[in-house]
Amino acid sequence: MSDVIDVEDADSQKAQDLKSIGWVSYILHLIVAVGAVIPGTQPGVALLIVALVIDLVKKSEAEGTWQASHFSWRIRTVIWAAILYLLTAPLWLAFLVPGMMAWIAISIWFLYRIVRGMVAMNANQALPR
């Protein structure tokens, strides 16, 4: 019976470690997302890259758990935001107002995705894949 308890303790510790890593990543993403929505407060992409690297490195450890969906969620969010920002970047050069509106919309979407993920993480819930 002590072997079962040890396995359960190890699983519980792994789950807690993954959740802690998830919170660090979400907080880094949140700082970047809030900075993207509030003009003049952009903390830079360095924090986003750190969070993305954390997610990419730790994702395999989460396979088979509800937390795996959070790693995928954050990675997909960053990739889609990057694609959308790059696609709309020429609007800044050609048409300032539409470019600004597109980036604001992308930034709000990014912030929404991060907050939605944080709420689900807090409730120990998986996110859609």
* Helix or strand run (H / E) with residue 70: helix 68-94
Amino acid at residue number 31? I
Quote the pLDDT of residue 115. Answer: 97
Comparing 61 with 7, the larger pLDDT belongs to 61
Task: List pLDDT tens digits, range 94-109.
Answer: 888 888 899 899 999 9
What is the value of pTM for the model shown?
A: 0.85
- CA distance linking residue 27 with residue 121, whole number of Å: 12
pLDDT digits (tens, 9 = 90+) for 57-74: 999 999 999 999 999 999
